[in-house]
Amino acid sequence: MKALVLGEPGEISLIEVPEPVPADGEVLIAVDAAGVCGTDRHIVAGDLGVPPGTVPGHEIAGTILETTHGVEGWNPGDRVAAFGQVTCGTCAACTSGRSNRCRRPQILGMARQGGFAERIALPTTSLVALPDEVPDGIGAIASDAIATPFHALTTVGRLQPGETVVVIGAGGLGVHAVQLARLCGAARVVAVDPSEAARDAATAAGADETFDPGSTDEPARDLRRLARGATLVLECVGSSETVELGLASLAPGGRLVVVGVGHTQPRLPPLGMFIGAELSVHGSFGSTPSEIATVLRLISSGRLDVSRSVSREVALADAAAIFSEPFGPARTVVVPEEHTA
């Protein structure tokens, strides 16, 4: 089969590779769509140490082609979205319903071959049923670009109706966080991003206010004034500066949820201020299969409109060029040849 395969840092190419052979308890899936995430760009650039020979891609929707011994409840022809990792199923996180925290995960496109290919083999524990009303491209990105901020806002951030929410970073995660915050009852949503295009996308998604942190010499002060008492801040960038900006914009009792992944070490405010204001900082990673299923139900019912979230579809044969292009807030989706016009 054809797949996009990593070479040396900065290199990815379409080559012929052996078709995956599903083990017992796994299914073979024809990939119908695979979203291009910011993480995929870091993988291709060599920033995350993923070895050459790996097929990236963790946002996947497809159709089951065949099943194996031990598979129950799934049949050829079923449409599925993929949970972005293969989990061990036995650690404390997995057995308590928090499989996003699995201690021994195989993340698709990193530790296990991913979805920028014609086919992929996955265990049934990594499958979520894809409703008929949800297109392939939306089903693919729902597993990460939409379910990740849903998990961060609801499970980790415990968003309550009437709260003011600040979303820092209005890219693929952040623009969906704006929509989801409104859907979950936020009274006011402020989106923060230096990119005018990203701020415009956040406004279209329902942000009440947008803020350019580069427009002022004191972004923390000015964001705090604009936010007027933010009790929940979602940080979707992963830098020290944006984490510290999020902390500085919190009202007393507020929660900062860090979704962005980075390698820097942000500073806490002085402990007297941090403790006296009862601020809290939480990390949030991915989502669970049940949360992906919830997001897909919201989309299929019409409650969550993400019809503008996929900016374009690119054929697998042309997809290598994507990784040298600028990255915008809407997702590009890789599709097989027969799905392109």
HEC-encoded secondary structure of the chain: CEEEEECCCCCEEEEECCCCCCCCCEEEEEEEEEEECHHHHHHHHCCCCCCCCCCCCCEEEEEEEEECCCCCCCCCCCEEEECCEECCCCCHHHHCCCHHHCCCCEEECCCECCCCECEEEEEHHHEEECCCCCCHHHHHHHHHHHHHHHHHHHHHCCCCCCCEEEEECCCHHHHHHHHHHHHCCCCEEEEECCCHHHHHHHHHHCCCEEECHHHCCCHHHHHHHHHCCEEEEEECCCCHHHHHHHHHCEEEEEEEEECCCCCCCCCCCCHHHHHHCCCEEEECCCCCHHHHHHHHHHHHCCCCCCCCCEEEEEEHHHHHHHHHCCCCCCEEEEECHHHCC
Q: What domains can you pick out in the chain, each with its CATH number?
A: 2-145+287-339 (3.90.180.10), 158-283 (3.40.50.720)
Backbone φ and ψ for 83, nearest 5 degrees, come out as: -65, 135
* Predicted pLDDT of residue 339: 57
Distance of CA 92 to the CA centre of its chain: 24
For the chain, 341 residues long, give each residue's pLDDT as a single digit of tens: 999 999 999 999 999 999 999 999 999 999 999 999 888 988 999 988 899 999 999 999 999 999 999 999 999 999 999 999 999 999 999 999 899 999 999 999 999 999 999 999 999 999 999 999 999 999 999 999 999 999 999 999 999 999 999 999 998 899 999 999 999 999 999 999 999 999 999 999 999 999 999 898 889 888 988 988 899 999 999 888 999 999 988 999 999 999 988 777 888 888 888 888 898 999 999 999 999 999 999 999 999 999 889 988 999 999 999 998 876 656 799 998 765 54
Q: How far apart are CA 142 and CA 110, in angstroms?
A: 19
Encoded tokens for 207: 């942000």
* Predicted pLDDT of residue 341: 47
Name the nearest CA neighbour of 116 among 38, 27, 18, 40: 40
pTM of structure: 0.92
The answer to whether residues 30 and 122 touch, using CB atoms and an 8 Å cutoff, is: no
